[in-house]
Chains A and B, each alone.
Chain A
Amino acid sequence: MRIIFPLLVIAFGLAGCTTLGVQPWEREVLAREDMQLDANPVDAALDDHIYFSKEASSGGRGFGGGGCGCN
């Protein structure tokens, strides 16, 4: 329940955001390498491996979205 409730709040919040965003030609900043959500996959993988061995929680990051929105 502790997860489901905030998740529903976020889901409904974002559902109301369907008009949120930018025009397809306004993505010059979002297209930059340093603005990608998976900008440093190697660092992220190495860190995940370290923290997985030293702590009891792991994962959660996922993939997809943002960027230049091309094609």
Chain B
Amino acid sequence: MSAKDTRIGSAIAAATCTLLGTTTTAPVVAEEAANWEFDSALLYYGESDGRVTDLSASILARRDFDDDRFLNLDLAVDTLTGASPSGAISTGAPQTFTSPSGDAVYTTAAGEIPFDDTFLDTRFALNVSWSQPFARLYTLTAGLGFSTEYDYQHMGANFGVTRDFNRRNTTLSAALAYSQDDIDPVGGAPIGFAQMLDVGDDSGKGGSESKDVLDLLLGVTQVLGRATVLRVNYSYSDSSGYLTDPYKFLSVVDPLTGDTLARTPGPGSQGPTGVYLYENRPDSRRKQSLFAELKHDFSGKVLGVSYRFATDDWSVDSHTLDARFRWPLGQSSYLEPHFRYYMQTAAEFYRFSLVDGQALPEFASADPRLADLDGITFGLKFGHKTASRNEWSARVELYRQTGSVASDQIIGNQAGRPQFPDLDAVIAQLSYRFKL
């Protein structure tokens, strides 16, 4: 038999062995059962003074497939109730407003900042994404998102790619996301600067609206050392369409006293007792942000610090500083204090109130969320890993938001009344992470 024949013979034998799989030798577990990992959470968000309360339940499921491919499913439900500031300001007399539906009225006592408490909304959100490697150093991710609530529908798609360099010490990421939102406000979307009318009168209201958003993200992640990793992201966002909040409005005030102009509802009708105009925002918004995050390990304790600077063409500039410190307790538990500081400057069209007799600006909003404001959060999280490597955790956070209005916007009697509706909220969350 020639050497060649022997080789061919052996090749056939080897091939057959492969096809037939393991022979009679001791079986070895070469396959790992495909696994599911779940991350579930129950969250309570509650503001003080009867303001917004939100209860939410979410579950994030991840299914690992062969060779670093995975599927992510994220389902969340939340219910929102409670009062939120409408943008109207406090005045010397009690105020009555028509509710967003146009079917009822609600009132605010004299000297108090008006809140609209007619909200009850339940939202469902689903996000699905798939991630897989591509040619060893690349990862591709594609996702779809959907959410729905009574007056708002969102649909989005995203696509991302990462590429590793420098023996996987450096990773470049790029992602693109596009979303289309449909807004169908209760009672119809008000025409910009339309006046709030009596119950049953919807002449100032329109129908449904939409907006679309394009997001671009570019990022670099760099390993700085055995125990340190840094990430820097630049993101750009372009929104266009209906960006106004259909439920927010501005008070029209007397140029000297600063008191809200009075109005009498029609005979036999219920309606507003003041002159209020629905807000009007630009139909486009371009935002940019620079975000940097650093994580460092101090012999088992991990410090995570991040900073984000954001700016946009509405002139809202913000700084966000976030720090977390994970302190292990024994082998299976940890404590993690958290601190966050947020600061923003007002949008250029933010107006505390509209002054009677002055020309109407092109855009205006009195939404406190567009004002100069600061937010501070203090939180503490506790987590525990069980024997089966599942993890329970609980966290409590306190959020305090304070804002201010530029003095050149305060007129007459407004100075002696509450201006910005400062916010105090509690966040409480229970989570359970488990594998199947």
Q: Which residues of A contact B (CB under 8 A)?
A: 2-3, 6-7, 10-11, 14, 17-24, 26-30, 32, 34-35, 37, 39, 41-43, 45-46, 50-51, 54-57, 59-66, 69, 71
Taking a contact as CB atoms closer than 8 A, the residue among B226, B311, B347 that contacts A22 in the complex is: B226
Whether a CB of chain A sits under 8 angstroms from the CB of B167 is: yes
Chain B residues whose CB sits within 8 angstroms of the CB of A29 once the complex forms: 226-227, 297
Q: A60-B233, A60-B290, A69-B167 provided; 14 other pairs, C-beta below 8 A?
A: A6-B290, A21-B170, A22-B169, A27-B226, A29-B226, A30-B226, A34-B302, A42-B41, A45-B76, A46-B56, A54-B375, A55-B342, A62-B235, A64-B171
* With known contacts A37-B229, A50-B427, A66–B234 Cβ distance under 8 A: no
Q: Establish whether residues A21 and B39, one from each chain, have CB atoms under 8 Å apart when the complex forms.
A: no
- With the chains together, A35 CA to B226 CA distance in Å? 11
Q: Establish whether residues B320 and A66, one from each chain, have CB atoms under 8 Å apart when the complex forms.
A: no
Whether a CB of chain A sits under 8 angstroms from the CB of B133 is: yes
Q: Which residues of B contact A (CB under 8 A)?
A: 39-41, 43, 45, 54, 56, 58, 60, 67-68, 74, 76, 133, 136, 139, 141, 160, 162, 164-171, 173, 175, 215, 217, 219-227, 229, 231-235, 237, 287-293, 295, 297, 302, 304, 308-312, 314, 316, 318, 320, 326, 334, 342, 344, 347, 369-370, 373, 375, 381, 395, 399, 401, 423, 427, 429, 431
Q: List 19 A-B contacts (CB under 8 A).
A: A7-B234, A7-B290, A17-B224, A18-B170, A20-B224, A21-B167, A22-B226, A34-B302, A35-B229, A45-B58, A50-B399, A54-B401, A63-B162, A64-B173, A64-B221, A65-B222, A69-B164, A71-B68, A71-B136
* With known contacts A20-B222, A30-B226, A57–B166 Cβ distance under 8 A: no
Chain A residues whose CB sits within 8 angstroms of the CB of B39 once the complex forms: 41-42
Chain B residues whose CB sits within 8 angstroms of the CB of A34 once the complex forms: 302, 326, 334
- With the chains together, A6 CA to B290 CA distance in Å? 9
Taking a contact as CB atoms closer than 8 A, the residue among A35, A42, A71 that contacts B58 in the complex is: A42
* With known contacts A6-B290, A22-B169, A62–B233 Cβ distance under 8 A: yes
Taking a contact as CB atoms closer than 8 A, the residue among A2, A18, A41 that contacts B166 in the complex is: A18
Chain A residues whose CB sits within 8 angstroms of the CB of B171 once the complex forms: 64-66
* With known contacts A55-B342, A57-B289, A59-B289, A65–B310 Cβ distance under 8 A: no
- With the chains together, A48 CA to B431 CA distance in Å? 17
* With known contacts A21-B223, A71-B68, A59–B326 Cβ distance under 8 A: no
Taking a contact as CB atoms closer than 8 A, the residue among A3, A14, A42 that contacts B290 in the complex is: A3
- With the chains together, A54 CA to B215 CA distance in Å? 21
Q: Establish whether residues B316 and A57, one from each chain, have CB atoms under 8 Å apart when the complex forms.
A: yes
CB nearest to A17 among chain B residues: B222
Taking a contact as CB atoms closer than 8 A, the residue among B160, B237, B347, B423 that contacts A64 in the complex is: B160
Q: Establish whether residues B369 and A35, one from each chain, have CB atoms under 8 Å apart when the complex forms.
A: no
Q: Establish whether residues A43 and B395, one from each chain, have CB atoms under 8 Å apart when the complex forms.
A: yes
Q: Establish whether residues B167 and A60, one from each chain, have CB atoms under 8 Å apart when the complex forms.
A: no
- With the chains together, A10 CA to B294 CA distance in Å? 14
Chain A residues whose CB sits within 8 angstroms of the CB of B302 once the complex forms: 34-35
Chain B residues whose CB sits within 8 angstroms of the CB of A27 once the complex forms: 223, 226
Q: Establish whether residues B226 and A55, one from each chain, have CB atoms under 8 Å apart when the complex forms.
A: no
Taking a contact as CB atoms closer than 8 A, the residue among A14, A37, A54 that contacts B369 in the complex is: A54
Chain A residues whose CB sits within 8 angstroms of the CB of B292 once the complex forms: 10
Taking a contact as CB atoms closer than 8 A, the residue among A3, A26, A37, A54 that contacts B231 in the complex is: A37
Q: Establish whether residues B297 and A21, one from each chain, have CB atoms under 8 Å apart when the complex forms.
A: no
- With the chains together, A57 CA to B274 CA distance in Å? 32
Taking a contact as CB atoms closer than 8 A, the residue among B54, B229, B308, B399 that contacts A65 in the complex is: B229
Q: Establish whether residues B288 and A3, one from each chain, have CB atoms under 8 Å apart when the complex forms.
A: yes
- With the chains together, A22 CA to B237 CA distance in Å? 34
Q: Establish whether residues B162 and A46, one from each chain, have CB atoms under 8 Å apart when the complex forms.
A: no
Taking a contact as CB atoms closer than 8 A, the residue among A14, A24, A28, A35 that contacts B222 in the complex is: A14
* With known contacts A24-B167, A56-B347, A57-B310, A46–B41 Cβ distance under 8 A: yes
- With the chains together, A42 CA to B166 CA distance in Å? 31
The 8 closest A-B CB pairs, nearest first, are: A65-B221, A21-B169, A65-B171, A69-B168, A60-B291, A64-B162, A64-B173, A57-B318
Q: Establish whether residues A63 and B141, one from each chain, have CB atoms under 8 Å apart when the complex forms.
A: yes
Chain B residues whose CB sits within 8 angstroms of the CB of A23 once the complex forms: 167
Q: Establish whether residues B369 and A56, one from each chain, have CB atoms under 8 Å apart when the complex forms.
A: yes
Q: Establish whether residues A63 and B173, one from each chain, have CB atoms under 8 Å apart when the complex forms.
A: yes
CB nearest to B237 among chain A residues: A59
Distance in Å: Cβ of A69 to nearest Cβ of chain B: 4
Chain B residues whose CB sits within 8 angstroms of the CB of A66 once the complex forms: 171, 221, 223, 229, 231, 295
Chain B residues whose CB sits within 8 angstroms of the CB of A59 once the complex forms: 215, 235, 237, 289
Chain B residues whose CB sits within 8 angstroms of the CB of A57 once the complex forms: 287, 289, 308, 310, 312, 316, 318, 320, 342, 344
